[in-house]
Amino acid sequence: MEIKKDMIIADIIAVEPNLAGVLMACGMHCVGCPSAQGESLEEACFVHGMDVDDVVKTLNEYLKK
């Protein structure tokens, strides 16, 4: 499976629970927050001032390992 920027945070974590740690390492420390669980990755990155394409790349690289 490939992570895409329009995926919901909860769905990303369901793909691989360790992706929560990857998101936190990227600077998204609210992955456990109920409101964050329903946001898309793109929305969450926008709120945190993060580049969604960089985060998607990091998550997909983790999945390839």
10 is written with which tokens? 């909860």
- 61 phi, psi to nearest 5 deg: -65, -40
13 is written with which tokens? 């974590």
15-53 pLDDT per residue, tens: 999 999 999 999 887 777 777 778 999 999 998 899 999
Residue 61 in this model has a pLDDT that exceeds 80: yes
Q: What is the mean pLDDT of residues 3-26?
A: 93
pLDDT recorded at residue 58: 97
As a whole number of angstroms, the distance between CA 58 and CA 64 comes to 10
pLDDT recorded at residue 6: 97
Secondary structure class of 45 (helix, strand, coil): helix
Residue 55 in this model has a pLDDT that exceeds 80: yes
